[in-house]
Amino acid sequence: MKKKLLWGAVIALFLAGLVWAFWPSAMEVEVAQVTQGRFERAVQEDGKTRVRARYVVSTTVAGRLARILLAQGDRVQAGGAVAVVSPAAPALLDARSQAEQAARVGGAQAALAQAQAQVAAAAAALNHSRQDVLRNNALTRQGFVSAAQGESIRLAEQLRGSELAAAQQAEQAARFNLEQARAPLQAYGADGARPGVKGEVTVRSPVAGSVLKVLLQSEGVVQAGAGLVEIGDPGSLEVVVDILTEEAAQVQPGTAVQLLNWGGPGVLQGKVRYVEPAAFTKVSALGVEEQWVNVITEITSPQEVWKGLGDGFKVDVRLLVQVEEGALRGVCAGRGPRALAGGHRQSAQRQPGLGA
């Protein structure tokens, strides 16, 4: 009897253990309050401001640049003077080079004298031919000269005229050669000193604006096309932000933009103006090559609010790629914006004041 009771107790305990092992237990779950309100999905990256229209004023001639007196922030009117460039003086000649050039001048003078003598000879020959034509005409009227002989005399007169014209052109060429030979020596006075250089060129601004940067301020020799100053309107700013190409596919012109941490109170509003069609490669902090693209945004908030912003200022740009009004939302405590790999951030955020 005792054995039966013992075995019954063991079997009962075993069955109780099986029931306890397979009895469904309570599961831990996360509970969230479901609300209805504004839902925003955004891409957030660091951006930089820049002047929308930037002009680089360059010199059109090579020469010596006078010191630019403009400073950053100075206002410049359209057509206003920016810099003055004087033509560079010719290179110095040593004693040997000056003697060689003086010899070239002497040779050019001799060639000019020879050309002048040829002109005088050709003029005399032409005058003699004209006298022959006059005599031939008188003899032809009297019947002493044949028509063929008269034609030969007239052709000789035309030939002498052509020879005179050629001699005159040779004289002109010799005169130009003499001036060319004298030019290197004209930069020096009788005592070998170099006179002042004339012919200053004033470089003027094509537009009205403020000086953003002075590229060359000190006096020095510049080449044609060298940039001198950058001019733009600081009141016309845009913001450039680079994002990954897979995220750029969600951004369209007109997408709402929020500018955070710009240095002033509140959040600035803006919108996307355009997305550049060409991407570029940038290496992340982990050494991974990624394709990025620039997104150009404009500030729509009143200028009086962000008048402290300038060219090249850093701001946080939040691109609202998805906005839903009246969406169902469930928010758990402790959940915030989720950081993604590669340094970029994408977040879903509720609008303050529209529910927990």
* Runs of H (alpha helix) within 228-326: 245-248
Question: Model's pTM, two decimal places?
Answer: 0.54
**Strands 280-283 and 201-204, sheet pairing:** unpaired
Distance CA 325, CA 155 (A): 104
**Does 149 have pLDDT greater than 60?**
yes
Q: How far apart are the first and last CA of the chain?
A: 68
- CATH architecture, range 33-51+234-350: Beta Barrel (2.40)
Average of per-residue pLDDT across 161-175? 85
Q: How far apart are alpha carbons 261 and 265 in whole angstroms?
A: 8
Element (H, E) at 220: strand 220-222
pLDDT category of residue 98 using cuts at 50, 70 and 90 = confident
Model confidence band, residue 242 (pLDDT cutoffs 50, 70, 90): very high
In the prediction, which pLDDT does 144 show?
A: 63
Confidence band of 332 (pLDDT split at 50, 70, 90): low
| 21 against 54, higher pLDDT | 54
d(CA 276, CA 267): 25
326 phi-psi bin (left φ>0, alpha ψ -120 to 50, beta other): left
Do domains 33-51+234-350 and 54-88+197-229 share one topology? The answer is no
As a whole number, mean pLDDT of residues 216-222 equals 88
Q: State the alpha helices, DSSP H only, in the chain.
A: 2-22, 95-142, 147-182, 245-248
Reply yes or no on whether the pLDDT at 192 is more than 80. no
Question: CATH assignment of 54-88+197-229, given 3.40.50.300, 1.10.8.60, 2.40.50.100, 2.70.150.10?
Answer: 2.40.50.100
> How far is Cα 130 from Cα 154, in angstroms, rounded to an integer?
8
Question: Is pLDDT at 339 greater than 70 in this prediction?
Answer: no
Q: Where are the domains of the chain?
A: 33-51+234-350, 54-88+197-229, 95-185
| Averaged pLDDT, 22-42 | 78
pLDDT at 243: 92
Instruction: Quickly count: other Cβ atoms within 10 Å of residue 252's Cβ.
Output: 11
- Side-chain half-sphere exposure of 328, counting CA atoms within 13 A: 3
Q: Which of 112-121, 128-137, 266-275, 334-343 has the lowest mean pLDDT?
A: 334-343
Element (H, E) at 334: none
Which token pair is 149? Answer: 């002989």
Please state the rounded mean pLDDT for residues 143-168: 76
The whole-number average pLDDT for the span 2-26 is: 76
- H or E stretch including 208? none
Question: What pLDDT does 146 receive?
Answer: 65
Q: For residue 125, which amino acid is it? A: A
Residue 107 has pLDDT above 90, yes or no: no
Q: How far apart are CA 223 and CA 245, in angstroms?
A: 41
Instruction: Quickly list DSSP for 277-292.
Output: S--EEEE-TTS-EEEE
Q: What is the pLDDT of residues 306-328, one digit of tens each?
A: 888 888 899 999 999 888 887 77
Q: Report the candidate in 297, 307, 312 with the shortest Cα–Cα distance to residue 240.
A: 297
At 126, the pLDDT band (50, 70, 90 cuts) reads confident
Q: Name the residue with tokens 């022959």.
A: 132
